[in-house]
Amino acid sequence: MNGLMIAIIVIFGVAAVLTVVRIIRGPSILDRAVASDVLLTEVMCVIGAEMAINGHTRSIPVLLIIAAVGVFGSIAVARYVARRDNTTS
């Protein structure tokens, strides 16, 4: 199991670094929003993998909160971009 956990950490670590690079470089706010959603999803996958490997369900409330933050954040960015597009047209 330790080898599996190390592989998960390495793979998701590389993915997280690439996602943070996309958040920093952009170029648009939608690229940054999608990258932040991907980063939240990666965090959820790591927590879920840790739960599966260690055989517990104590982290489910954390997963629910992370999912809610991701959904509400995406809605907020979509509304901001839609409102900004309407005022510039």
Note the pLDDT tens digit of each residue in 22-63.
Answer: 999 988 888 899 999 999 999 999 999 889 988 999 999 999
Residue 89 has pLDDT above 60, yes or no: no
Q: What is the predicted pLDDT for the residue at 88?
A: 65
Find the distance separating the first CA and the last CA of the chain, reported in whole Å: 56
The Cα–Cα gap between 54 and 86 comes to: 49
The Cα–Cα gap between 67 and 79 comes to: 18
The Cα–Cα gap between 53 and 1 comes to: 7
Is residue 1 very low, low, confident or very high in pLDDT (cuts 50, 70, 90)? low
The per-residue pLDDT of the chain, averaged, comes to 89
**Cβ contact 22:31 at 8 Å:** yes
Q: What is the predicted pLDDT for the residue at 6?
A: 87
| pTM, full prediction | 0.82
| Amino acid (one-letter) located at 5 | M
